[in-house]
Structures are given as C-alpha cells and as structure tokens.
Amino acid sequence: MPRPFVSAKEAAALLGKAVFVDARAEPGADRAYGAGHVHGAIRADLETDLSEPRDPSDGGRHPLPPVERWLDLIGRWGIAPSTPVVVYDASGGGMAAARAWWMLRAVGHEPVMVVDGGWDALRRAGVPIDQGEPRASDAGLGPYPTAVDRWPVVRADFVERVRTDPTWRVIDARAPERYRGETENLDPVAGHIPGACNLYWQSQLDDEGVLDSVATLKERYADLLEGVSPDRVACYCGSGVTACHLLLTMEACGLDGAKLYVGSWSEWCRQGRPGALG
C-alpha cells in the first residue's frame, strides 16, 4: 500500500503520471485556485464535492455525499483503480486534503497520497503552475468500480456506546480551547463528547505545515492509545473534516483501522446528547 504522505519534490515527479486534486478549503479557495494551482489539478470543493450539506443534526455540517455520487465524480475526474492520485490543500492536509484522501480510501482506492506541506511546499518545489477557473472535467470513465455501497463510518449511537469503554478511544481533533468548551463559534453548544480525549490535528505540523517525524507521531499516539488497538479508535472534530487528518497520520504510523465519526460535534450537540467541559 502506498504511503499516505508524499513530499512536494516526490509529488512534482508524478506530474503527468497522477491525477492532482486541489482541495484547498479556506475562505476564498476558489479564487486562490484561479490565481494559481498545480498544472492540470482538478478542483475539489469541500462544500459541493466532498460533502452534501443538509440538516446538521443528521450528519453534521459536512455530511458525506451519497457514495454513488462520489463514485460518478471521481470517474469523471479520470480516476480508475490503478490511477495514482495526489491531493493537496493549504493547511498541511487538514482542510480538506485528508478528507478527500479518506473518501478515496473508503471506496477502495489505494494509490492516493497527500502532499506534506501542501500548496506552499509545492510552490517552493517549483512545480508548474496554471491559472484560470476550474472547468468541468469528464475523462470519459464511468463510475469508479467498487463493491462499497455505503460509507465505512461510525454513527452517534455507536460513539455513545464506546465513549466510556476503556478498550476504545474516542479522539477529538479540534483545538484545545474548543475541546474544553472555552470558545465555540461554529456550533450552538460548546464542549466535547464525554470520555473523549483531545489531539489537535494542527499540533502535528510545524510552522510551514509540514508533518512531524513518524517517530514523533508514533510516540504521541502510543501515549494517547495506551495499548488500545487502532481499530478500536473513533475520531471526530467539528464536522468530520479535520478528523480525517488524524486517520491519515495514524496510517502513516502503521496504525490502520481507526474509524471516522463524520457527524462529529456538530451533529452530536444538535441531537441533545451529553457534553463535557474542561
């Protein structure tokens, strides 16, 4: 199985051999793509491609789109089972390159990698840059072939059952002040799922958005899991996006099998479920 991360230099060597996906999701990301993106990169919009917003009490603020719509989309992008895919964003993978990575892996696509350091690292590496707005892409492929007919996620009732089970870990990927409930500007209730521990996804990156060493990551996860098997880990965040960065870094450490609670805090708190502060 390919490594889940690739350096900007290694990514540059894949131009013309891989499908590049620009998953920048910060405010103004569409304009930023028009001003400059990796040569030939497809634009993946968090709101319209990587999610299908509806009532946030059922799926959170960024619920996943229907699997069949995703399979049709990536087929139109020219992604077949053997196609290498390179995804990048401007935030070290957490907004929302890791989400695109997880969605591809979830339907069985293995040759997919996130650029370590993202857009800034790619520019420093001197990759060819295009300008212009995204165009509708249709590579002539049908829907991506897979036996997957539903997203492999865990739901709120499941998290409710395991959140106090010592043989499980529920991990919150949000900033510590949001986990503690000191601030909350996106959801109507502050706090976290009782029993969850906190590992801020950005704490795993340096000032340039480059990932900590695998040795450092392994040590951090060993301290957090305390022997709990990685396939008994459920990760969440505010809306199921940055939690994917934890799944990505866990796989980089060889800790496969962790689960995504995609509804995350935005769903949990709107369902009137218990919350904790501090």
CB 63 within 8 A of CB 53: yes
Could you please report the per-residue DSSP string of 214-243?
A: HHHHHHHHHHHHTT--GGGEEEE-SSSSTH
Would you give the DSSP letter of residue 278? -
**Strand segments (E) across 47-105:** 85-88
Q: Which H or E run contains 172?
A: strand 169-172
Edge to edge, what strands does the sheet with 169-172 contain? Answer: 197-198, 169-172, 233-236, 259-260
Tell me the residue type at 268. Answer: W
Buried-state track 120-135, b at ≥16 Cβ within 10 A, e below 16: bbbeebebeeeeeeee
CA distance 256 to 258: 6
Q: Is position 237 annotated as part of the catalytic site?
A: yes
Q: Which of 235, 237, 253, 269 is catalytic?
A: 237
Catalytic residues: 237
